[in-house]
Homo-oligomer: A and B are copies of this chain.
Amino acid sequence: MVQAKIRLYVDHPLSEGQSIPLDRDQAHYLFGVMRLPVGAPVLLFNGRDSEYRADVAEAGKKGGVLTCVERTRPLQVPPDLWLLFAPIKKARTDFIVEKAAEMGAARILPVQTEFTNSDRIRQDRLQAHAVEAAEQCGGTYVPEVAELARLDRLLADWDAERQIMFCDEALAGAAAAPGMATGGKWAILIGPEGGFSEAERARLHALPFAHPVSLGPRILRADTAAVAAMTVWQQRFGDWA
């Protein structure tokens, strides 16, 4: 389900006639790996402006220049949905970030819970995964990956207007998402392997803006739960209408 055409994220303003300088990595990818000649088209987006078709104006081993030719798609900002998740093993953490970008999360927040093993993340690497996912899925927006933060501190400073849908495996089999109000600002919270601690569950259940949901009778891995929870939310409140 990947578009055939090359799409490239660039951290540069985009508008018709604009010249876009390429760095060494980008030039290597476009001219060394993909073998694009001068004149070949590429789709560009920067997460802030529309998507543009650009043509290769100069191609070199260490750099190059693209020229924006025409606007191809408007910027499509996803709904105001954050995804909070407890980092797990490297490959699955990468997957969660990729899936969050594909599913249309606006912001991705790795959180430390009581049962989270990980006490550091490579924030730059995860951000690069979000960029790559946006390139692949045809998105014009790139969600920001935040620094790792402690869940208890995030909740202490939480904006009460941002509702939280949290996935409580103790609810397995219960009705999905009872009593959630519609619209507005939201966050989905996915627990770590081993689930939330008793103290965390009690705290979450006591928060008036937090809503427990069930994701069926089987226990899902965190990366599966992330996609399933975002599907539930997007269908109900998001841009899948």
Q: What residues make up the interface of A, taking CB atoms closer than 8 Å to B? A: 1-4, 76, 95, 98-99, 102-104, 136-139, 169, 175-176, 191-195, 214-222, 224-225, 227-228, 230-232, 234-235, 238-241
Contact = CB atoms under 8 A, between A and B. Distances in A.
Contact of A221 (B136, B193, B222): B136
Given A215-B240, A235-B232, A222 B1 contact: yes
A99 B224 contact: yes
B240 A103 contact: no
A137 B1 contact: no
A154 B216 CA distance: 30
Given A214-B240, A224-B103, A3 B175 contact: no
A139 to B, nearest CB: 5
Contacts of A227: 224, 227-228, 231
A77 B194 CA distance: 24
A66 to B, nearest CB: 23
**Number of copies of this protein chain within its complex:** 2
A156 B239 CA distance: 36
Secondary structure at the A interface, as helix, strand, loop or mixed, is loop
A195 to B, nearest CB: 7
B1 A169 contact: yes
Contacts of A138: 218-219
Residue in A192, A231, A238 whose Cβ sees the most chain B Cβ within 10 Å: A231
Contacts of A3: 219
B176 A240 contact: yes
A129 to B, nearest CB: 13
Contacts of A224: 98-99, 102-103, 227
Contacts of A238: 216
A98 B136 CA distance: 23
B103 A1 contact: no
Contacts of A241: 175
Contact of A218 (B137, B176, B193): B137
Contact of A2 (B104, B136, B221): B221
Contacts of A139: 218
Nearest to A235: B176
Nearest to A177: B235
